[in-house]
Amino acid sequence: MTIKWTWDVKKIEAFPVNVNNAIEMALTNIWLMVQNQAKLNSPFDKGTLRRSISTDFSRIKQWMAVVWSPVAYARRREFENFKNPDRKFYLKRAYTENKMKIQDIIKKALDVKLK
């Protein structure tokens, strides 16, 4: 399971360099927060899934980051989890539980740099 979040790249590229740097740092903070929450929300048996959840920042210059897991059953545990139904949608919940914090991080990053 992968959550992708992209920005309107043309609008962001028009920002000054210091704003771009602030947004890049904000993105890094956001996705590390989502990654850590996904680890807490994930089902836990032997810990393989929890340890495998990571963030791919290789495309951060394209204003995109990906929280994902290479474990073969990660997608199944996200959408179909009979053993731990309370852990279903662990990755999606990691994003939705932090939605307000994400908006605050973005607003603070832009407010500080635009003044």
Domain ranges of the chain: 3-114
**pLDDT category, 7, cuts 50, 70, 90?**
low
Looking at residue 42, its pLDDT comes to: 93
Predicted model pTM = 0.77
Convert the pLDDT of each residue in 39-88 to its tens digit.
Answer: 999 998 899 999 999 998 887 767 778 898 999 999 888 898 888 888 88
DSSP secondary structure, the chain, as one string: --EEEE--HHHHHTS-HHHHHHHHHHHHHHHHHHHHHHHHHS--SSSHHHHH-EEE-TTGGGTEEEEE---TTHHHHHH--SS-GGGTTHHHHHHHTTHHHHHHHHHHHHHHHH-
Looking at residue 40, its pLDDT comes to: 94
